[in-house]
């Protein structure tokens, strides 16, 4: 009996070769209007589950309950910063992108300096690219 092998053909998800969108995205954002805007755009890109939290404690609890595939982290959450969330995501090898309304002067710890950042307000193209590249 002769065995046949089936060749697997890899087809990029999009013409520019970017990956498919993650299924579950966690938004860590303390401004409800901005969070809703991000959520609407993410759902429009094909994300199936978007969870939004507004504090470090809520974010850590959400990650513990169900690890997301990707996260958007606002750097400034009222009186706290999201770096404890970034540490948890890094330890769990979950990709994320910082989102900030402040410029390059925003003080980011050395461990996260190489992390991609989106400047608020960000374009839909920039958001979709960050999402598809998983913050790489």
Residue 87 is assigned to a structural domain of this protein = yes
* Tens of each residue's pLDDT in the chain, 136 residues: 444 444 433 333 444 444 689 999 999 999 999 999 999 999 999 999 999 999 999 999 999 999 999 999 999 999 999 999 999 999 999 999 999 887 655 678 888 988 989 999 899 999 999 999 886 6
Which CA distances in Å does 22 have to 43, 46, 50, 60, 94?
11, 8, 10, 19, 11
> What's the pLDDT at 101?
82
Could you give the strand order of the β-sheet that contains 117-119, starting from the edge strand earlier in sequence?
49-53, 24-28, 70-74, 96-100, 117-119
Residue 62 is part of a domain; what is its CATH number?
Answer: 3.40.50.2300
Residue 4 is assigned to a structural domain of this protein = no
> What's the pLDDT at 113?
87
Residue 15 is assigned to a structural domain of this protein = no
Residue 35 is assigned to a structural domain of this protein = yes
CA proximity to 128, closest of 53, 70, 67? 70
Residue 110 is assigned to a structural domain of this protein = yes
CB count, 10 Å around CB of 129?
16
| Residue numbers of the domain that contains 87 | 24-132
In the chain, how many domains are there? 1
Residue 62 is assigned to a structural domain of this protein = yes
Residue 5 is assigned to a structural domain of this protein = no
> What's the pLDDT at 83?
96
Collapsing DSSP states into helix, strand and coil, what is residue 134?
coil
Separation between Cα atoms, residue 10 and residue 16, nearest integer Å:
14
pTM of the prediction? 0.83
> What's the pLDDT at 12?
39
């Amino acid at each position: 009996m002769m065995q046949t092998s089936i060749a697997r053909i890899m087809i990029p998800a999009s013409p520019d070769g970017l990956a498919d969108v993650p299924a579950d995205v966690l938004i860590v954002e303390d401004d409800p209007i901005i969070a809703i805007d991000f959520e609407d755009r993410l759902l429009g890109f094909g994300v199936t589950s978007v969870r939004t939290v507004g504090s470090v404690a809520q974010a850590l609890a959400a990650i513990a309950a169900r690890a997301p595939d990707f996260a958007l982290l606002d750097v400034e959450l009222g009186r706290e910063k999201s770096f404890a969330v970034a540490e948890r995501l890094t330890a769990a090898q979950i990709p994320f992108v910082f989102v900030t309304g402040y410029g390059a002067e925003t003080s980011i710890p050395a461990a996260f300096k190489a992390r991609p950042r989106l400047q608020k307000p960000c374009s839909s193209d920039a958001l979709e690219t960050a999402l598809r590249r998983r913050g790489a």
